Amino acid sequence: MATKTIIAFDLYGTLLSTESIADELAKIYGEDKAKSLAALWRRYQLEYTWRINSMGEYKPFGEITLNALRHAVAEHGLTLAAEDADALMRSYDALHVFPEIPSALKLLEEHGDSVEAYVFSNGTGEMVGNSIKTSPDLGPHASRFRSLITVDEVKCFKPDRRGYDHLLEQIGRRGDTSKVWLVSANPFDVVGSRAAGLNAAFIDRSGKGWIDHLDDKRAPSVVASGVDEAIKLILKY
């Protein structure tokens, strides 16, 4: 039997749109501030994970996300009531998918004999599970993913090498990365996976191409405009 292609999908920013939280922020802070708040929240969420990695410490992604929200709100000179914080964190478990995700899920279904799909995320198991279950687009197709793998189990965040080693161990491909792919819209995730020996598909929704130059030897294997296109390119690779 031919070895299946493994595709591990990043969740936040790749399958789920972190920008979609702006709809909930608008209910509290108004339309004029919502998009800026959403962008800043995401910026600090990622920055906090990198900073705490560098410090050799760890906090669960939910705690990181809440603290990043508090930072973003404070930078705007606003206040965050406890009940609003709770509501926004619940909404983070119900982010919208990007427009092409339904067609990507259909492709996974059509190629189930040759592709084994996983979700690989910075989130905790509970957070990732809730996000998928409450998504009207992902929830009905949760069975397309063989497993939800999170870095919470090794207490570090991507792009720490330990996270990718954990992924390979969980899927039984330690030492054999030839048919293992990461699909991510986050450049740091792509570079991290390439450094760990995986193939990587970068989701370039902005249409700017691959412009990250941290390490030019670790550029993505393929660049795609959406997750559905990435799956097609992987299958042809």
pLDDT, one tens digit per residue, over 138-179 is 888 888 999 999 999 999 999 999 999 999 999 999 989 999
The residue-averaged pLDDT of 102-109 equals 95
Cα–Cα distance measured from residue 195 to residue 162, given in angstroms and rounded to the nearest whole number:
11
The percent helix, strand, coil of the chain (3-state, each to 5) is 50, 15, 35
Q: Could you tell me the strand order of the sheet in which 5-9 lies?
A: 145-150, 115-121, 5-9, 180-184, 199-203, 222-224
Q: Give the mean pLDDT of 59-86.
A: 98
DSSP state of 57: -
Which pLDDT score, from 0 to 100, does residue 161 have? 97
Give pTM, 2 decimals. Answer: 0.96
Average pLDDT (83-94) is 94
DSSP-derived letter for residue 19 is: G
119 closest CA partner among 135, 178, 110: 135
pLDDT in tens, 2-50: 689 999 999 999 999 999 999 999 999 999 999 999 999 999 999 999 9
pLDDT at 140: 87
Supply 36's token pair: 């800026």
What was the pLDDT predicted at 1?
A: 54
Domains and CATH numbers, the chain: 5-16+95-236 (3.40.50.1000), 19-92 (1.10.150.240)
Helices 227-236, 101-110: inter-axial angle, 10-degree rounding: 30
Quote the CA–CA distance of 189 and 179 in Å, as a whole number: 18
Place of tokens 């084994």: 116
Helix axes 82-92, 61-75, angle to 10 degrees: 130
Provide the phi-psi class of 175: left if phi over 0, else alpha when psi is between -120 and 50, else beta: left
Chain segment 188-230, per-residue pLDDT in tens: 999 999 999 999 999 999 999 999 999 999 999 999 999 999 9
* H-run or E-run covering 222: strand 222-224
CA distances from 78 to 71, 72, 73, 86, 205 (A): 10, 9, 5, 16, 31
Helix (H) or strand (E) holding 233: helix 227-236
The answer on pLDDT for 56 being more than 60 is yes
Tokens of 166: 């954990």
| DSSP letters spanning 110-155 | HTTTTEEEEEEESS-HHHHHHHHHT-TTTGGGGGGEEEEEEGGGTT
